[in-house]
Amino acid sequence: MGLYAGMRNEEQKREYSDRELLVRYIKGVAPFRKSIGLISLFIFVSAIAETINPLLIGIAIDELSGSRRNPLIILGVGGLYFIITILLWIMFFLRRKEIGKFVPYFLEKLRMNIFDKLQEQDMSFFDKHLSGQLNTRVSNDALDFGNTTLLLADTFGNLLISLLTFGMLVWLNLTLALYTLIAIPFIFLLVLSLRRIVKIVSRTYRKAIGSVNAAMVESIEGIHVSKSYGQESTVSRQFQETNREYFKAGFRVTAVTHMWRPLLETIASITLIAIIFLGGQFVFQGITNPGTIFIFILYLQKFFRPIMVLSVFFPHLSQGMAAYERILDVIDSEPNVRQNPNAINIETLEGEIVFKDIDFCYREGGWVFKGLSLHIKKGEKIAIVGHTGAGKTSLVSLLARYYEFQGGSIKIDGNDIRDITLNSYRRNLGNVQQEVFLFSGTIEENIRYGRQEASEEDLWKAIKTVHLEELIEYLPEGLQTVIGERGKGLSAGQQQLVSFARAILSDPRILVLDEATSSVDAYTEAIIQEALEELLSNRTSIIIAHRLSTIVNADRIIVMDNGKIVEEGTHKSLLIQGGKYATLYKQYFEHQSLDWEPNRESLTIE
């Protein structure tokens, strides 16, 4: 069990047949056919050279064992053997050089395909996959599949050598060649058995790697929590369980990889002994000469050598194909949020929003909304309140198109949001959340993130609106100060101010504030409240808040409960009704009022 036990239960939606994987692989490497052609040429030349060398040795032995030796023939054969050896080295170097160019380019394209596909996904995809496991797809899985490409090239060369070598065996002595074939069925039965087993253990091994990476990422991101509760040893012990599963999976792969090789070598050795015995009988009977038998044995060893490699080839191939399956699982994932094929670009939105009969669930059967409707006028400032789980964040997530709704429609200025291109739609939508995310880089890069082409004047206007210039003047590098991952180096309040400056600079027509001030101190909130007056003016705004100050001035307050709108109105009118909002106000907001007194029983409406 343990904290990371769930990471080992990662589900893969698809399984691919060997044929499908091969077809997809061929399509993937098709753009690199020039490199593949050169690699194939070098392999072919090497195979021919490998086939000729034993023949030269046999000729030299026959010449040396004869009664009349010809030194010129021996020297010529020796010189040719030396030249072919140099040629083999050159072919090996050229093949590796071409592979060294092809594989990195192929991996670069593959990683970009995975990364681009991840960018297309909606939030429901990331709800199902841990970040560490996705990182494994981009890094480890892609690298392992790249190594499979190298493995395929080497195996193709070895099999070609085996084919040419067997041709030489038949040419040298048909009878002995036929005896050699008796061993082949036994070898391939073992290899096929190995292949089936390895395919199973390789999938488990790939999942184990993903679990280790996911556990590592999560433990680092949550290090402040584990330290706060003094749970470092507990986290370490739980990670040890995940790491042990990885070790077991790796051990099984290693064991399966090497358990068959001794059996294959035994079969090859028995075959070799039988051929030596039969060949010796042929020599004694005068059917053939020693040189021919010696050449036959050399070719026999070359014939079995690639077959021995199959014991390593299939485990490595299965690991690579298991990695490729996991990669294709991402590449073939289609986002739920899609724009219609004939979607239009919108330069500027006015900001009228209509939710009509919305049905939505994160998981099948667990409805969040069923027939929800809401009309927000252009330029209206809406505040949404309700208990945790009421559906507040789900509502704005649908508006931002993070998720796809199952029924109904959402229209902006009369246009269905599915008929508007995602890029042009989101350019008009600003979103400031409670949990701020800043990228590693300079403060200026983070502020410009939504509008990189903004002028220096607009940049500083946004900075001064949220009073961020005080922080920038204090920092030695100013706007060029580099902050770490997730805004490390800045306080929570400073990070929030940067996110507000980013939102102001992007100048969205629709602005969503999702509890954006709930985690900041009173001083920072006062600054933000001042900035909000300008930020919210002349634009449609939706505010989800835990602070009274951010909702009392709203044009309309929407009260949600269990995915339904139960009340709506102004702060004063809702208090007069004495309904759900009045209860929420007394529980969560009343104590934030300046005239609040403890133990006061009645609500004061001013």
Report the pLDDT averaged over residues 62-68.
66
Report pLDDT digits (tens) over 318-357.
777 777 787 888 888 888 887 788 888 888 888 899 999 9
Name the nearest CA neighbour of 585 among 355, 421, 383.
Answer: 383
pTM of the model: 0.68
The topology (CATH level 3) of 15-331 is: ABC transporter transmembrane region fold (1.20.1560)
Task: Among 3.40.50.300, 3.90.79.10, 1.10.10.60, 3.40.50.720, name the CATH number for the domain at 353-428+508-592.
Answer: 3.40.50.300
572 has pLDDT over 50: yes
Cβ-in-10-Å burial (0-12, 13-18, 19+) of 593 comes to middle
Report pLDDT digits (tens) over 2-19.
444 444 445 555 567 777
Quickly list H helices, 285-382.
Answer: 290-331
502 has pLDDT over 50: yes
Q: Is 205 helix (H, G, I), strand (E, B) or coil?
A: helix
If one counts every other C-beta atom within 10 angstroms of the C-beta of residue 536, the result is: 18
Report pLDDT digits (tens) over 282-297.
777 777 777 677 777 7
Ranking 13-22, 111-120, 454-463, 512-521 by mean pLDDT, the lowest is 512-521
Q: What pLDDT score was predicted for residue 356?
A: 93
Angle at 384 between CA 583 and CA 531, to 5 degrees: 115
d(CA 557, CA 577): 13
Report pLDDT digits (tens) over 367-386.
899 999 999 999 888 989 88
Q: What are the extents of the domains in the chain?
A: 15-331, 353-428+508-592
Share of the chain above pLDDT 90, in %: 4
Question: CB-based contacts of 160: which residues, under 8 Å, 6+ apart?
Answer: 43, 44, 47
Report pLDDT digits (tens) over 179-226.
877 877 777 777 667 666 766 776 677 677 667 767 766 666 666 556
d(CA 96, CA 90): 10
Ranking 412-416, 519-523, 563-567 by mean pLDDT, the lowest is 519-523
Q: What pLDDT score was predicted for residue 206?
A: 66
Name the nearest CA neighbour of 179 among 108, 259, 105, 281.
Answer: 281
d(CA 211, CA 239): 10
361 has pLDDT over 70: yes
For residues 380 and 253, the model is more confident at: 380
DSSP 8-state code for residue 343: -
For residues 92 and 545, the model is more confident at: 92
What's the token pair of residue 42? 């070098």
Cβ-in-10-Å burial (0-12, 13-18, 19+) of 398 comes to buried
d(CA 500, CA 533): 12
Beta strands 429-433 and 441-442, pairing class: unpaired
392 has pLDDT over 80: yes
Residue environment code for 118-141, b if the CB has 16+ CB neighbours within 10 A, otherwise e: beebbbebeeebbebbbbbbbebb
Strand partners, 370: 359
